[in-house]
Chains A and B, each alone.
Chain A
């Protein structure tokens, strides 16, 4: 079965330093992978998605993720953190079993950004 594991429940960085949020996936076939962001008291918003067209995926707000099949990873990065990046981030995969299939969410990584 498809699943994702977010390796850190909480990451803290200083403003202007790089961000790395780690996600490993488990899949028996080529996975669909996404990163969603949730700002406080808001719903989730799609940051980026892996479509198999390119292993390096660019998203909104300067975020990127690299699909590495050999490492079964899809880590989210940003070169320079901004205060507005403080939020919870979810790595997500799609499961196509059953009649419809559905999205499987990781447990989330809360990103704190210190001034």
Chain B
């Protein structure tokens, strides 16, 4: 009963380096999301995938790319890391079908990846 699994848990990068954050869910959910959490800012949506094969920008997509590899996996890539990308990154999934109500499709979150860019 793993739910949403994120790897790695921690990462330190130098400015300009690239990396991919991995996320997998085993609940057969349609929708997957990447958020970043910064102190005093709540969670902000980076990208989401409403269903397999589709991805859309969220509130703060600049500097990131995503891939919905299959129904289970949704990865987030930083091509050239910057100190402003120091944050905690959360992946989430939900059953939600496109254009359906959120109220019956709560988000299930992973435990996060703590990224520091120096």
**Which chain A residues have a beta carbon within 8 Å of chain B's beta carbons?**
9, 32, 34, 36, 41-46, 49-51, 90, 94, 99-103, 105-108
Contacts and interface: CB of A to CB of B under 8 A. Distances in A.
Contact of A32 (B98, B101, B110): B101
B40 A9 contact: yes
Interface residues of B, number: 26
10 contacts: A32-B101, A32-B103, A41-B112, A43-B4, A50-B103, A90-B42, A99-B50, A99-B56, A100-B50, A103-B45
Given A41-B112, A44-B92, A105-B35, 19 more contacts: A32-B101, A36-B107, A42-B112, A43-B110, A43-B112, A45-B109, A51-B103, A90-B43, A94-B101, A99-B56, A99-B98, A100-B48, A100-B50, A100-B56, A102-B45, A102-B48, A105-B42, A107-B40, A108-B42
Interface in B69-118: 90, 92, 98-99, 101-103, 106-107, 109-112
